C-alpha cells in the first residue's frame, strides 16, 4: 500500500498525520484513545484516534473539491 501525505502536525514520522492511499481512501494516524469511552463500541481492528482539528482542515484544503 502506498500512502501519500496530505498534512501532518510535525516534520517527523511520529506525529498525527493524514494520508491518501492509492484507492483514494483517507488514512489517519493519531494517538490512540485508550480506553475508548464506554458509549463507543468498537469492532475488531478498529481504534479511536485523537488528532487536532487543524490537521483535518489542512488535509481537506489540500484535497480540494471532491
Mean predicted confidence (pLDDT) in 44-63: 93
Tell me the average pLDDT of the chain. 90
d(C-alpha 34, C-alpha 28), whole Å: 16
Mean predicted confidence (pLDDT) in 13-30: 91
pLDDT in tens, 30-46: 999 988 899 999 999 99
DSSP three-state, residue 31: strand
Amino acid at each position: 500500500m502506498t500512502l501519500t501525505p496530505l498534512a501532518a502536525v510535525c516534520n517527523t514520522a511520529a506525529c498525527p498525520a493524514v494520508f491518501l492511499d492509492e484507492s483514494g481512501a483517507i488514512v489517519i494516524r493519531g494517538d490512540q484513545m485508550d480506553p475508548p469511552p464506554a458509549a463507543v463500541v468498537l469492532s475488531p481492528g478498529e481504534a479511536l484516534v485523537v488528532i487536532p482539528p487543524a490537521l483535518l482542515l489542512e488535509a481537506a484544503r489540500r484535497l480540494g473539491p471532491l
